[in-house]
Amino acid sequence: MHSSMDDSLVRRPSGVSDSTVEALGKLSEALETVEQARGHLYASHQLVGRADKLFADAAQKFDEAEQAAWADRIRTEVIGLNVLAGRWTFQVVEEFDDGYWTTVRDLERAARDKLADGVRHVYEAELKQQRITPGRPGHEAVPADR
């Protein structure tokens, strides 16, 4: 670690303790994990939608192959089937967004606003400050145009 401070990385508001910075950093990490989960949920939403279209294509192919019974089964048993009780995936992502995701984001922002004047990523900025090698290419504190 380097003790040289680069003022362009200083984000910590006056009076914020190390333990508060660490707690906010952990809270931010938890939020980032929820954001990843949300991305996977949306990816699943899109994949299931694509699969539904492919099932329709398969049913059409079974019709063309004179396998109407299989085409009918696909159309009645699979196409339009809820992925969860009473829900298609768009309903799942809407409920997730309106409930869990919104609650987590609001809580993280409220904690950051109250405890660190709204400043984001204080922990990470200080970690970068500790780990860069001043003057070494690729270790700049911020882009040169700032």
The confidence band for 31, taking pLDDT boundaries of 50, 70 and 90, is: very high
Q: Using the CB atoms, write b or e for 110-122: b if 16+ within 10 Å.
A: ebbeebbeebeeb
Q: Cα–Cα–Cα angle for 74, 88, 55, nearest 5°?
A: 25
pLDDT per position as a tens digit, 86-124: 999 999 999 999 999 999 999 999 999 999 999 999 999
What is the per-residue pLDDT for 59?
98
d(CA 54, CA 48): 10
Q: Is the pLDDT of residue 6 over 70?
A: no
Amino acid at 111: A
Dihedral sign from CA coordinates of 28, 32, 33, 35? positive
**Per-residue pLDDT, 18:** 95
